[in-house]
Structure 1
């Protein structure tokens, strides 16, 4: 049976699905964790009222660094016998939610429990399941695409991270525009604090030359992010004997489908010293790499926001991105944009190596903050529960 935590405060509850903060939180987990962090710090006003209503819905325990949120918010545990998120969400979780008399349910990761009477809100980070269904395993093609469509159809509010994504979700989800709420992502000012590990120690712990110029790539490895283009670009640097010989460090799990062993591909090109795939890394290591890397590179054929681009700009790094509509909308001329071909990528990388640095990012960093993200979501949820 689901475990219940006594509710000591009045008001319509706001149930927040916190599954993405369990295990090994990635981008969606960091999004939700930062929103909950901002709400938890509200001292007065509407957000303080909202904080008192929030109830986390969990399957297990929160993972670091978000485990401290369990001291702020009451938690409702809905256990499951099987590991599949979809089976949990559409099985035990849905049955439990049907037993609730009131509230609104916020789902942070594309899908909501279907066919329940309580109003729901969903965060849709991009429309990749509709744009690139072939890039996902068969079970995600079969379930995720259909569940995402049904979820946006049934949800009272659909939060999206950019105007570009709003147009995509409106089109593929076949919903009216007035149910879409553009909710830009943000950056964490705490990341401006120096990391606890010096550059030399960090790089040597991963067998990286501390004196090398390091380009950092962050995010799961999907085919749409074209890791093979960066590998080919680095192979060309070696073949052409560039005086500058930068190192590419990629932090993120390999979720390619069909699976491609990009680390092996880099080794076949003789790039063992120059291209490093580090897999998933915890928040403190990611923080340290953002600080100690010399530049950020984020190439993709399709994104909803591109959080690593914003985080790179926030810590003052030059950022190389693919020239796609969402990056033009969000980041304009603050980044080096490149077409997705090896020669153009080499030109963009060389511009950074020869001294390009961003300027004028201040207004952008004031616009895209987790405080504003949390306020936008919180205000919309409070209007539904009013």
Structure 2
């Protein structure tokens, strides 16, 4: 049945050995049951007596012991599997090897690192404190305290962990979980079939996800997602992040929506994402503004037309003013007054309304007002002339009267004398 489950006494060597169900024992039969437990515990690195022999599988296996004791379990070769606390198995090192306090179990397994463990056919634990578990599992000499678990899993750097068939963790403190995963950069992490993380502190989650070597701190999450720029994140199946410091939920060929987003703060300093309802309100305002702008555009166009018309009128008026210059009432700077000269000759102002006649009036007066004044002046002149004649006559009369008065005075004086 090709499995070990019995511990038998070997009289030739004077020791108990773990052997197949087909092997026969000799001597100390009463102690078999107790020693079976001890032998099983020995498989967990508890030492038993030196020179213990093991027959496994087809009963042709052989074990070789060191001075401190070990148990060798193998098939088809000497010391194919060994457990020991010494530095090296004697006999044939190419078929089984154990360093101090190491454990090697399996066909051609080898635990060459101190305190290392190799379990499985052709498993190899080369560095101190490392564990190689599975057919062909390998922890390299540079992979102290690393772990490779799974067929052909490889851990090749300090504290690296490779878990899964063909998993490969080559970065310091890196972790590769899943078949064909690769974590090749320091502190990188891969989870999922074929995932690959090749840059510092990068993470790839999902089937065939990838973070490239120039995408430090990048994250790829979802089947086929790829991040190829620093500090960026690709989320979703076949999403790509090709620019630095971005989060991508799709690719050039594949667009996705982000739903159930809360209202972001809207301010001069806000960096929040906004949702559709917030943008809807903005769009409503933009639509209203568009309508208003369209109306204003019509008004502006009308104003433009009106301005063009006014410009034409102004140009026409300018031409008219230029034409009327000789016929207009112009300011005469030399005399400090408006001049009505036309072609060098004086001219009249006609159709002038009657101005106000008052002590403080500055209105221009017309000819009819001056005519009336002149009429009164002429009459006054005639009256003055008549009065002058009367005054002259009165003066003559007064002179004659004065002479008469003087004569009377003389006569009165003469009469007075005669009376006396």
TM-score range, shorter chain: under 0.3
Q: Which has the larger radius of gyration?
A: 2
- Answer 1 or 2: which has greater strand percent: 2
Question: Which structure has the higher relative contact order (CA within 8 Å, separation 6+)?
Answer: 1
| TM value normalised by structure 1 | 0.21
| TM value normalised by structure 2 | 0.20
